[in-house]
Amino acid sequence: MVTTRTSKRGKTPTKKSVSKPRKGASSVQGGLYPSIAISDLYNGVAHLYAASLVGSGRASLGFYIVACASLVGTLRFGFSESLFAKMNGSLAEYAAYVGLPLIGLSTWRAGDYGAELPSDGAVIVGLSLCHIMAQSLHGTMKEVMPVVVNVFFFVALLGMDAMRKENHYQLLSIATFLVGTVVIGDARDSFLLNVRNENWFHYFLGTSAIMLAMCLSGEWTGRLF
């Protein structure tokens, strides 16, 4: 944007300052972000593939929920922000409270924790109720709660399962997830190597899902070194 200054004596306007927006920092018309649509598509397809690798059960359903949120994100950022923004936001929250915890809880063994989990339906209802109750939270608590849920029901459970099985590949998949979600994050207007952080977030999340599914299905086992 160019701003001008006019002298009281009638002199011609002179250039005062020029502000150049960062390349790629804004969306195209209508709030669309083609690059985010592409990375969300990768994340969605990766989670669909992960679900197919683990077969049926809690983990499969968890991967499908995350895939659904990501594919709706593709519609939101690639076709219509107004039509799909609210749906994408709601599904992303549901994936955080229900989808990812279901993947972690798929590793639950009664012999390890001294308690048997209820039926899959009861687990899903319980997690869904937590999600509904969390909607009443505000400010910092609303932001922190899904992080707490994922630390206990996703990262911790998968980490303990990996250590019990001495599966370094599973630990590597968790590390990949943490790099994407914690180290890089999903800030839309921040860039790493001229690529949006949100794009990296999707690529790391999708890649970690495939790696994790390979471990949970028994394809990848053992030590790295």
What DSSP string describes 116-171?
A: ----HHHHHHHHHHHHHHHTT--HHHHHHHHHHHHIIIIIIHHHHHHHHHT-HHHH
What's the pLDDT at 196? 97
Q: Is residue 208's pLDDT more than 70?
A: yes
Instruction: Indicate the range of 7-11, 34-38, 207-211 predicted with least confidence.
Output: 7-11
pLDDT per position as a tens digit, 81-132: 999 999 999 999 999 999 999 999 999 998 888 899 999 999 999 999 999 9
CA gap 47, 66 in Å, rounded: 7
Q: Residue 54: which pLDDT band, with cuts at 50, 70 and 90?
A: very high
Q: pLDDT above 70 covers what percent of the chain? A: 87
pLDDT at 111: 86
Query: What are the residue boundaries of the structural domains of the chain, listed by start?
Result: 32-216
Determine if residue 47 is left, alpha or beta; phi over 0 gives left, psi from -120 to 50 gives alpha, anything else beta: alpha
- Distances in Å between the Cα of 147 and the Cα atoms of 34, 79, 144, 166, 192 are 28, 30, 5, 26, 23
Query: Are 12 and 49 spatial neighbours (Cβ–Cβ below 8 Å)?
Result: no
Side-chain-side CA neighbours of 177 within 13 Å: the count stands at 22
Instruction: Provide mean pLDDT across the span 189-215.
Output: 97
